[in-house]
């Protein structure tokens, strides 16, 4: 069974999913950061495959991507690092990235490598739903990989249902109409979160974008199965002298 599904079958509330950029802060930190996240009590990890032109990301994740690329990170390098990851990390691992580097690596080749290394889910925000349905869905299913789609406050109920139908693992609810790391007013999104809840989707829902601390994590989790923290975690790593300790403190501050 896919580790994402295993997780949700055991735990439905306050799921903490942490995003970090692969190859950041240093090229060989990728697996170590995931180990520290697991040790500290995070439930899931979203590993960013850095791209030169990340359209949906704000300044913090952009900067981490630029740095990771400069560090030598690429999809090829990432799979080298993930070769034995399942001997060291049990968390569900989701790879997040933009479509162009995946196209260059080759979609089928990419999915084969994901399956072989033990990746569970994939987020490709700029892969359109239709394209996925027409071209790639059978390939993802063949390799047992979940593709996770995004919804936003502007997504209609009808479209949310369609996205829910196509998503596997969970649905990623973007908290506000924004790029990552924006501090938009969280309280104003109540209606949107309640609307999602009422739809009673078949997939679990995790809320992301703008979640940065215990308060926002708990607020988001009150309406969903949990939340995703990205920019705030990357920012903590940016200034860290001791990565394992920073990771530990960051996670503990949220779940304790």
Contacts with other proteins by CB under 8 A lie at: 51-53, 55-56, 58-59, 62, 66, 69, 74-76, 98-105, 125-128, 131, 149-152, 154-155, 159, 163, 174, 177-179, 182
Q: CB-wise, 151 or 251, nearer to other proteins?
A: 151
Q: Which of 38, 43, 46, 120 is catalytic?
A: 46
Which residue stretches of 2-156 are H helix? 3-10, 30-40, 59-71, 75-81, 99-105, 107-117, 129-131, 137-142
Q: What is the edge-to-edge ordering of all strands in the sheet holding 121-123?
A: 146-147, 121-123, 93-96, 44-48, 15-21, 226-229, 205-208, 171-174, 150-151
**Least distance in Å: CB of 135 to other proteins?**
11
Catalytic residue among 29, 57, 120, 164: 57
Minimal distance, residue 240 CB to other proteins, in Å: 23
- Nearest distance from residue 247's CB to other proteins, in Å? 26
- DSSP category for residue 13: S
And the tokens for 183?
């501090």
Active site residue 57: yes
> What would the DSSP string read from start to end of 226-240?
EEEE-HHHHHHHHT-
| Min CB(242)–other proteins separation in Å | 29
Which is closer to other proteins, CB of 157 or CB of 214?
A: 157
Residue 229 main-chain phi, psi, to 5 deg: -115, 130
Q: Which is nearer to other proteins, 44 or 60 (CB)?
A: 60
Residue 46 is among the residues annotated as catalytic for this protein:
yes
Can you say whether residue 42 is alpha, beta or left, with left for phi > 0 and alpha for psi between -120 and 50 degrees? beta
Q: Between 183 and 252, whose beta carbon lies closer to other proteins?
A: 183
Neighbour count for residue 242 (Cβ, 10 Å): 9
Burial 121-145 (b: 16+ CB within 10 A, else e): bbbbbebebeebeeebeeebeebeb
Nearer to other proteins, 132 or 243 (CB): 132
Give min distance, CB of 82 to other proteins, in A.
16
Cα gap 98→234, rounded to integer Å: 18
Positions marked catalytic: 46, 57
């Amino acid at each position: 069974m896919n580790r994402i599904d295993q997780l949700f079958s055991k735990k439905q509330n306050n799921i903490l999913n942490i995003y970090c950029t692969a190859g950041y802060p240093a090229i060989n930190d990728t697996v170590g950061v995931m180990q520290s996240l697991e040790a500290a009590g995070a439930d899931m990890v979203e590993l960013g495959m850095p791209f030169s032109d990340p359209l949906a990301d704000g300044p913090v994740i952009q900067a981490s991507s630029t740095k990771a690329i400069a560090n030598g990170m690429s999809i090829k390098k990432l799979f080298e690092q993930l070769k034995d990851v399942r001997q060291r990390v049990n968390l569900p691992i989701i790879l997040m990235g933009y479509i162009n580097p995946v196209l260059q690596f080759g979609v089928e080749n990419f999915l084969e490598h994901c399956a072989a290394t033990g990746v569970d889910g994939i987020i490709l925000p700029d892969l359109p739903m239709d394209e996925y349905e027409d071209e790639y869905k059978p390939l993802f299913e063949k390799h047992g990989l979940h593709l996770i789609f995004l919804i936003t406050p502007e997504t209609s109920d009808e479209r949310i249902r369609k996205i829910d139908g196509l998503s596997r693992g969970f649905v990623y609810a973007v908290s506000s109409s924004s790029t990552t790391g924006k501090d938009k007013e969280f309280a104003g999104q109540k209606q949107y979160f309640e609307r999602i809840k009422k739809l009673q989707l078949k997939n679990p829902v995790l809320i992301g974008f703008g979640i940065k601390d215990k308060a926002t994590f708990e607020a988001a989790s009150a309406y969903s199965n949990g939340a995703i923290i990205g920019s705030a975690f990357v920012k903590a790593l940016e200034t860290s002298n001791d990565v394992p300790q920073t990771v530990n403190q960051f996670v503990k501050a949220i779940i304790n």
